[in-house]
Chains A and B, each alone.
Chain A
Amino acid sequence: MKKGNLIYHIMTAAIFIVLEVAALTMLTRSGELQKTWFGKAGQGFMEWIWGGTQKISDYFSLREQNEKLAAENSRLTMLLAKQNDSLFRDTLDKMVMPMNAVGDFTYIPARISKISSNSQHNYMILDRGMNDGVREGDGVVTAKGAVGIIDAVSENYAFARSFKNHQMSISARLGKEGSVGTLSWDGVSKNKALLKEIPHHIALAAGDTVYTSGYSSIFPADIPLGTAGEAKIVNGATYEIQVTLLEDLESLRYAIIVGNLGNGEITKLENRE
C-alpha cells in the first residue's frame, strides 16, 4: 500500500468516525429513548472494560494470593496437628489397657515415623528410643492389636518388625479361654492372618475373637487381635484358622510400646535351662 493511499484511508476512517459520532450525539440529544439506551450501552461497555482490567489485575496478583494462602494453610495445618496431638494424648489416657496382664508392663506412647507395608519384611520406626526407656524385644501394640516387636533401638528412635513380616508370630488365644496357637500374617492380604496349631478337637465358631495369650514375655494378655473366620485341618492334626485383623496396619499413626519389666529375669531363667 502506497504511503499516500494509507494516509487517505486513515483520513477516511477518521472523518467517518467524526461524522458518525456527531450523528449519534445529535441522536442521543434529540431522543430520550436513544439517550437512555446509549447511556446503558456506555455503562455496559465501561463495566466490561473495568471488569477486564480487574481480571487482568487479579491474574497478576495471583502469586501474592498464593503466598497468603500457603501461609494460612501452614498455620491451619499446625493448629490441626496440635489438636490431633492433644486428642492422641487424651485417647491414650482413656485407653483401657489390660493392666492385669501377666508380668509388669510399661506403656510408652509413640508416634510412627515411618512404616512399610508393601514387602514381605515390613517394618516401622517409632519416635521413642533408649532415652524414653524403650528396649530391644519390647512389643508394639494398639487398642486393636499387637502390631510389632522392637528389633533395634537408638537414643530417640526404635526400629520394629511389623506384624506383616514373615519373621514374626504372636502367641494368640481363640476366645478368652480357648486354645492357644501362633498367629502370623498370611503374607498376602493387608488384614488377614493365620492362627495355627489349634487342636482339631476344639469346637470352633466363626466370629470368635482372637486375643494375645499372654504366654510370651513380649505382649500382655487379652489384647484383641482379630476375629476367626474359615478353618481347615492341616496334616490331620491341627486347625489353621483364617483371622481378620482388627487393626489396619496401613493407616497406623500412633502406637504404644509395651515393655515387660520382668523380661530380663525371664530371659535369664530361659538361658539357664
Chain B
Amino acid sequence: MRGNQNFGILYTLLVIAQILLCNYGQFSPYVMLTILPAMVLCIPPSVSTIMGMLIAFASGLSIDWLSEGLLGLNAAAILPVALMRKGIIKIFLGEDLISRGDRFSYRKNGFGKISFAQSVCLAVFLALYIILDGAGTRPVEFCLLRGGISFACNFLLAIMIINILSPDDRK
C-alpha cells in the first residue's frame, strides 16, 4: 500500500515535470521531449487496464491543459499505450509479472527486456503524437526525422523515469 502511495506521489510529480518539459523544454521542432510513455509503462501491473487508461487519459489531458499544446493531443497519443501496457509487459517481461502483480526493475528483469518494452511504448506514442500534431501538413521526411531524434532523446529520459518509478527493492 505504501509502495502504491509513493508511486502515486511520484507519478503526480512526474506529470508536473512533463508539464514543465512541454512549456520550457521545446528546443527544436525536431525534438519532442516526453516522459509520459515510460510513466504509463511503470503503472504497477496490479492496476487494471481500464484504470491504467483512465490514469493515462487524466495525465495526458492535464499535460495538454496546463501546457501550450493542443488539448487532447497527449491524451489521444497515450491511450493506446495504456491499452497495450499489460500486453507489452507480458510479451517482453513475462506473464508471471502480471499474475503476481510484481513491479519490474532493471536489476530484476534486465536492461534489454525493459528497453524493448519501453521502446515499443515510446514508438507508439511518438508515432501517434507526430501524426496528430502534423495533421497531414508536414512532409514525411520531417515526421520521420522528428520521430527518430525524439525517440533517441526520450529513450534516455525513459531509462531515468523507469529507475525513479520502478526502483530496485534491494536498494
Contact = CB atoms under 8 A, between A and B. Distances in A.
Interface of A: 11-12, 15-16, 19-20, 22-31, 33-34, 36-38, 40
Contacts of B22: none
Contacts of A33: 135, 137
Contacts of A16: 53, 79-80, 83
Contact of A34 (B60, B80, B83, B132): B132
A33 B73 CA distance: 13
Contact of B72 (A11, A12, A15, A24): A24
B71 interface: yes
Given A20-B79, A25-B72, 11 more contacts: A11-B50, A15-B50, A19-B75, A22-B57, A23-B61, A24-B72, A27-B76, A29-B71, A31-B70, A37-B136, A37-B137
B49 interface: yes
Contacts of B72: 22-30
B70 A27 contact: yes
A176 to B, nearest CB: 84
B135 A31 contact: yes
Given A11-B50, A15-B53, A23-B60, A36 B135 contact: yes
A30 B135 CA distance: 13
Contact of B53 (A19, A25, A31): A19
B53 A27 contact: no
A38 B137 CA distance: 12
A23 B60 CA distance: 9
Contacts of A20: 76, 79-80
Interface of B: 49-50, 53-54, 57, 60-61, 64, 70-73, 75-76, 79-80, 83, 132, 135-137
Q: Is the interface of A mostly helix, strand, loop or mixed?
A: helix
A184 B72 CA distance: 96
Nearest to B73: A27
Nearest to B60: A23
A38 B136 CA distance: 10
Contacts of B57: 19, 22-23
Given A23-B57, A23-B76, A34 B70 contact: yes
A23 B73 CA distance: 7
Contacts of B49: 12
Contacts of A22: 57, 72, 75
13 contacts: A12-B49, A12-B50, A19-B54, A20-B76, A20-B79, A22-B75, A23-B60, A23-B72, A25-B72, A27-B132, A31-B70, A37-B135, A38-B135
A23 B79 CA distance: 9
B79 A40 contact: no
A34 to B, nearest CB: 5
A38 B74 CA distance: 17
Given A36-B135, A37-B135, A19 B70 contact: no
Q: Of residues B60, B61, B72, which shows the largest number of chain A Cβ atoms within 10 Å of its Cβ?
A: B72
B53 A24 contact: no
A19 B49 CA distance: 13
A30 B61 CA distance: 13
A34 B71 contact: no
